[in-house]
Amino acid sequence: MTLEDKDLYKGISQEKIDRWNKEIDEKYDPEKVAESRRNVGKMSKDRFNDIQKEGDRITLAISKVMDSKADAPEVQVLIRKHHGWIENFYTCPGEMYRGLGQLYVENPEFTAFYEKVSPGLATFMRDAMTYYANHSLKD
């Protein structure tokens, strides 16, 4: 079965989905957008749901180590898992991963998502992702 927007964005209005898709098409690298859509399009609903659950587990685990510094080994192990999770969707070199972390802080919807998990998580994620990108990824 092919995934549709309603499968990807459960509980989100079609109006918001359309706005997000327009924003994605206007703001981001068309090759990366196409890569992500291809990769997601190849996933079964079960596989997509498993990947989403994995992302939730990783996010929750990161929220539990926020009392550590962003560059702490236990944080970086989880950030490496987060980066691997992102790569289910698209190849994410250092510059892009840093940018994604910045987006978590600058985009109110991303920020709200992470702040719901734990206050300060969006900023913590950005800092940890930046460190990881600078020390473990190529640009």
Domain count, the chain: 1
Residue 82 above 90 pLDDT?
yes
Residue 122 above 80 pLDDT?
yes
Max Cα separation, the chain? 43
Of the candidate ranges 19-28, 104-113, 118-127, the one whose mean pLDDT is the lowest: 19-28
Asked if residue 56 belongs to a domain, the reply is yes
Asked if residue 3 belongs to a domain, the reply is no
- What percentage of residues in the chain have a pLDDT greater than 90? 73
Residue 7 above 80 pLDDT?
no
pLDDT, residue 102, reads 95
Residue 5 above 80 pLDDT?
no
Average pLDDT along the chain: 92
Asked if residue 99 belongs to a domain, the reply is yes
Of the candidate ranges 32-46, 49-63, 68-82, 125-139, the one whose mean pLDDT is the lowest: 32-46
Residue 101, domain extent:
13-136
Asked if residue 31 belongs to a domain, the reply is yes
CATH number at residue 29: 1.10.490.50
In this prediction the pTM is 0.89
Asked if residue 6 belongs to a domain, the reply is no
Asked if residue 41 belongs to a domain, the reply is yes
Highest mean pLDDT among 6-15, 35-44, 62-71: 62-71
Asked if residue 5 belongs to a domain, the reply is no
